[in-house]
Structure 1
């Protein structure tokens, strides 16, 4: 799905005319409005990019966002404003909470280059959606159905590369789960992980994914000893049995523990559980890497970095999506990278989707990046081909 129409809602005639002019230069139809109009409902579909000012008389941009949500309008939204950064950040967050497609901010005044970047962001978002074809939302899967999924082998791994941007070399690869549903197609783990935890099948699922991934990529990992593969592991899975099974599985498949990274989610549970503390200690003693997943969100804290044997930190995509819009977000990312480096942690920045984001993050220090700018999650053979191409093989 590509861009078919641009709509601008702004009470300033100059900016309405400017966006119409820029739209004509890229051969896209543009409709302009000084304020909200019911006519917009007819045209603002999922192939529409909407530029929305915040400060307008009568109905401002904040109330207009509420209207877009009420009407379930699927257009991509760019905040067009000269408002202070904190206001824009909160308006962006409001749109995200309402599950609108928020594509950032276009500061006034702006150039055609900045305008084109927002158009590119819209098109990238649509391509990403089309590529993944993942169905989201609760499926209300029963225990019997999940057991059937295991038996029929419908769970499978895909892989997303982690790149050192300054050298353009592969540092690692994250293994991500999918469910190949016969009726719905590929299903995101967001739709079934909670069910696996609720039905106490999460350990079985994680070990299955590790076994499949190490079987598929084992030959590649043995040939590329500098590359690590990471797996998301719930803190609730960190018990003696799971830890022992994980260590034994890696030994049986002949993959070095130093090439395995365990990304721990729900990190608060670790500080409350003797079993979890035992597990992270055993894993690090066995030379596995331990990563704080989605640092800066949820329960991850500075104290855990001090008390637990982590050696990697992942900066959550929720910060990265804002670094081109908010100097505060950029400073938080910079401070996090510097802190992690002072602790001799590897830093992986996830959710990099644009060249601007990549340039900003690369300038902050030595870190590794993961995101659609390099590759979507892909099957094992495609990942190997991607790696070989990057190495010039």
Structure 2
């Protein structure tokens, strides 16, 4: 039964014939059909004609490098599980593995030369069914007219993703996420319309509509638990001098304390007018709102913003959190960011927590809160209310 589970088709790309043939010999012992080549063009032809279930790509080739091959695999919509192999060292392997993921391919893992038969077979035996490609399906672009019409129809909603304490596992709040439901079912994802709203001058109206919906539809059981509700704030909203007072009024209408609202400002928020940014964010804090620096670690002015602006929370970018179980670099970066946040007296939140390994690692490092699919996916208000009762 084990042999049947591990069986598949393995195609190896390595211009060291002895290495490639040895890999194939070892894989055959686990009932793999195997083939190899040292020529990248031949390799791509075999990918199309032979349809392997697994491919192993060496990064150093005579005619081109492995990154070029990875790019070609993505262009060919390759469905095989990809193993990246090299003797160049961990950091290069990690960045190459990241290239596999971000090209939308299924990453099975990496092999650092020299490796053992046990390491190879354990990797090939890994379950790839839960590894979802990052490549997004093509969607028809949204027009400004569609965006404006949806605003006129009050079509935008908020869904709620739970956040839990890393120490107790208890619910501590929700992030309120923009959603655009369609009449025929499904949703237009935020990355299809948020940036368009910013470019077309509609972001203030869109933000107010989503906030209005979120504040009026918070999960019912949440009101009695002193929970926090995070809302995303576009840097362009900060240019609207009426926004802080408007938000305070909306909270009062819904009997919500400003201290329970966390405004998440992306770390890459414009510093073109640092004084205006400073004044606007300080106004929010004066009115009692909490401020979170979102996507921390991906911008260019992180430490400048932490030093200048009145943040109460630091949110670690999911790019580092999602790779905690596979990347030593991500582990070190996350540990450093948590240490920085705690030393500044900030609440530290990790987003993109997708497995128990990451959750436990964050807890052991002293991260305060976690958010991600390991805990729960975003859901509508009624589903969030039901979830919070569990």
Q: TM-score range by the shorter chain?
A: 0.7 to 0.9
**Residue pair 1:334, 1:364 contacting (<8 A) in 2 also:** yes
Distance, in Å, in 1 between the alignment partners of 2:185 and 2:9 is 32
- Distance apart, 1:171 and its partner CA: 2.1
Distance, in Å, in 1 between the alignment partners of 2:65 and 2:272 is 46
Match of 1:248 in 2: 249
Distance, in Å, in 2 between the alignment partners of 1:16 and 1:367 is 47
Runs of at least 5 residues in structure 1 that lack an aligned partner in the other structure: 25-29
TM-score normalised to the size of structure 2?
Answer: 0.83
Distance, in Å, in 1 between the alignment partners of 2:385 and 2:120 is 39
Superposed counterparts of 1:198-209, under 5 Å: 198-209=199-210
- Distance apart, 1:371 and its partner CA: 1.2
Superposed counterparts of 1:256-271, under 5 Å: 256-265=257-266, 267-270=268-271
- Distance apart, 1:345 and its partner CA: 0.6
Match of 1:27 in 2: none
Distance, in Å, in 1 between the alignment partners of 2:124 and 2:293 is 36
Match of 2:132 in 1: 125
Match of 1:212 in 2: 213
Aligned-partner SS, 1:212: helix
- Distance apart, 1:115 and its partner CA: 3.1
- Distance apart, 1:286 and its partner CA: 1.8
Distance, in Å, in 2 between the alignment partners of 1:365 and 1:152 is 45
The 3 A distance-change label for structure 1 pair 135 and 95 is closer
Deviates more, 1:195-204 or 1:152-161: 152-161
Deviates more, 1:209-218 or 1:79-88: 79-88
Match of 1:371 in 2: 372
TM-score normalised to the size of structure 1?
Answer: 0.82
Match of 1:115 among 114, 117, 123: 123
**Residue pair 2:109, 2:123 contacting (<8 A) in 1 also:** no
- Distance apart, 1:267 and its partner CA: 4.2
Instruction: String of CA shifts for 1:246-268, please: whole Å, max 9, x gaps.
Output: 11111111111111110002544
Match of 1:87 among 92, 100, 111: 92
**Residue pair 1:138, 1:192 contacting (<8 A) in 2 also:** no
Distance, in Å, in 2 between the alignment partners of 1:18 and 1:171 is 50
Deviates more, 1:278-287 or 1:13-22: 13-22
Match of 2:229 in 1: 229
Deviates more, 1:59-68 or 1:238-247: 59-68
- Distance apart, 1:178 and its partner CA: 1.7
- Distance apart, 1:280 and its partner CA: 0.8
Match of 2:40 in 1: none
Instruction: String of CA shifts for 1:256-306, please: whole Å, max 9, x gaps.
Output: 111111000254425615443222111111221100110011244112111
* Superposition RMSD in Å: 3.1
Distance, in Å, in 1 between the alignment partners of 2:256 and 2:324 is 37
Aligned-partner SS, 1:356: helix
**Residue pair 1:160, 1:378 contacting (<8 A) in 2 also:** yes
Match of 1:39 in 2: 46
Instruction: String of CA shifts for 1:101-156, please: whole Å, max 9, x gaps.
Output: 44553554465896389525x51526x99xxxx866671412x3212112333322
Match of 1:54 in 2: 59
